Amino acid sequence: MIATRLRRLLATATPALLFPLLLSVAVGARATELPEESAREEISFDALEHYSLGSLFEARDRLREAIHEYRLALQQTPDNANVYGSLARVHLRLQEAEEAEGAARRALELDPSNREALDVMVDLHLARRDLPAAVETLRQVVASDSTDLQTRIRLAEILERTGDLEGALGELQEASRLSPGLAHVHYRIGSLYSQLGRLEEALDEFDTVVRIDPSFTEALINAATVREMEMNLEGAADLYKRVLELEPENLAVHRRLLRVQLLLDDTERAGETARWILERNPADADVREQYGLLLLRAGDVEGAIQELERVRSESEKRMSVRRHLGRLYWDEEEHERAREAYREALEIDPRFTEGWVSLGYLHAQLDEPAEAAAAFERAVEQTPGRPVLHFLLGVCRNDLGEYESAREAFEESLELRPGNAQAHYGLGVALERLGRTEDAAAALRKVLEIEPENGEALNYLGYMFAERGVHLNEAVELLERAVALEPENGYYLDSLGWAHFQRGEFEKALGYLERATRRSEGDAVILEHFGDVLERLGRSEEAREAWKRALEASPDAEGARRKLGNP
């Protein structure tokens, strides 16, 4: 019966099936041991027939029948490790893990070096994600056959997965020693060197791969990547071009090449590469955004806006393109559009500190100090350690007349960055407005210690003294220094004229104030001062004319209104 079934199977078997069958028969024959010669021949033949039938059924994917035959073989030779190993393998193919493990463990009890059983146990460990157990089992295989190349390669793969990169490297190096010139082994070694940060050694391995197989594109790509990491950008570009000679439609490599061309500032070639990519993948937002920036660098502002706006319309959550548009519109002095772009960017990522800073500047340029202050406040909340943000907030608070808050902001800025002349100046302004004249004078004098030729500080301190009628000699000296720096500055001229007025030097005052009115036409304060000095010089009609002009320039000029006798 068995012989008939075996003959039938053999008659239809291919040479590819017969060779493993004959091999298994030989193995099975060696493993059969019986006490008596006559019984050995009879039972050994039956066991071998069942084992052979099992092998044939397994080769034809008739796995249940294979299991049946292997079990019949085991009835004849219950201590045969090879049959248990084959049985374990078939159960594993059927995803019957428990049965596979049982058969494999029995095979290993009989023969600790049984290859089939060890392979099955490795697969079972991997299925359970028990990588250490898989490694231990594979080491057993290597110990039994140190020349087994594939097992070493598999062991290296699992060691890499466990994070033991050095161990994986050692196994692959031994595999390379056993069988030199294997491109894929050198490639894996190069990849491990890269992960270990040993870039020169990685590059040597990738170069070896390319020498062995010039069409090994993965090695070319990795070699290019290493050259990028070493900032050998020209070398990286050359390698990416070699890949594209082999795979001209490889989009990923074209994108890598674009990145390198951008780093090389090779605008022309980068533009060509970007256009090539966009022709094949118009939806690539990264490349289209880069292309827009390339157009901007080439001076094509309209084209850049068109490309960036397309990305903006197609990518609702892309913050970077809104940031670029905000900057671009700002440079083009389209402040409303810039503000809208930054607002959208901040809706996407409220942690975008520079967005809040830019928005604050835009609001300030649009004369919206409250909105500017709110934006700078958000920036301060996110990065409180940046002195410039406290300074900008202080400036806005001063503009809003919130002098106590301004003082706090400037003092915080100075605590983070002592010696900042601009912050001392802003603090001086806030203190002066709070009526703390001496403290304001100290802050402004600090500015002049740092920057002796700071015209704004010279003017503010001198005018503050002149307005209050104190330290008038010092006021004149300060304001003369300011005018010397900017002889045509109408505000400095007015301040110096007013200091002379306060000292009773009306003729001197008149000269400076006349010049001031010519340099700053329409300034109500200067016109009022001009009227005051004319009045003191007895030129009442001219004085009234100056006060009228002050009132026309600013209907809120109460001093001029009062002097004219208007209600």
Q: What is the pLDDT of residues 130-171, one digit of tens each?
A: 999 999 999 998 988 889 899 999 999 999 999 999 999 999
**pLDDT of 179 higher than 60:** yes
Q: Which two tokens stand for residue 260?
A: 């390198």
pLDDT of residue 13: 44
pLDDT confidence bin for 393, thresholds 50/70/90: very high
d(C-alpha 97, C-alpha 112), whole Å: 20
Report the candidate in 401, 400, 378 with the shortest Cα–Cα distance to residue 389.
Answer: 378
Contact indicator for 379, 389 with CB cutoff of 8 Å: yes
Nearby residues of 330 by Cβ (< 8 Å), 6 or more positions away: 338, 358, 362
- For residue 289, give the amino acid letter: E
- Residue recorded with tokens 């660098």: 297
Q: Per-residue pLDDT tens for 129-139?
A: 999 999 999 99
**pLDDT of 178 higher than 50:** yes
Contact indicator for 519, 488 with CB cutoff of 8 Å: yes
SS3 71: helix
| Average pLDDT for the chain | 90
d(C-alpha 431, C-alpha 435), whole Å: 6
Q: Per-residue pLDDT tens for 514-549?
A: 999 999 888 999 999 999 999 999 999 999 999 999
pLDDT confidence bin for 29, thresholds 50/70/90: very low
Q: Which two tokens stand for residue 255?
A: 């994108």
pLDDT confidence bin for 15, thresholds 50/70/90: very low
Instruction: Provide the whole-model pTM.
Output: 0.64
The three-point CA angle 190-192-196 to 5° equals 115
Q: Which two tokens stand for residue 207?
A: 């170069």
pLDDT confidence bin for 14, thresholds 50/70/90: very low
Contact indicator for 509, 533 with CB cutoff of 8 Å: yes
Contact indicator for 260, 230 with CB cutoff of 8 Å: no
- Whole-angstrom CA distances from 313 to 173, 226, 352, 355, 416 are 53, 36, 20, 20, 41
Report the candidate in 103, 94, 147 with the shortest Cα–Cα distance to residue 121.
Answer: 103
SS3 250: coil
pLDDT of residue 145: 87
- Whole-angstrom CA distances from 359 to 40, 346, 410 are 94, 9, 20
**pLDDT of 27 higher than 80:** no
**pLDDT of 331 higher than 80:** yes
d(C-alpha 405, C-alpha 409), whole Å: 6
- For residue 49, give the amino acid letter: E
pLDDT confidence bin for 366, thresholds 50/70/90: confident
Helix 455-468, helix 490-502: angle, nearest 10: 30
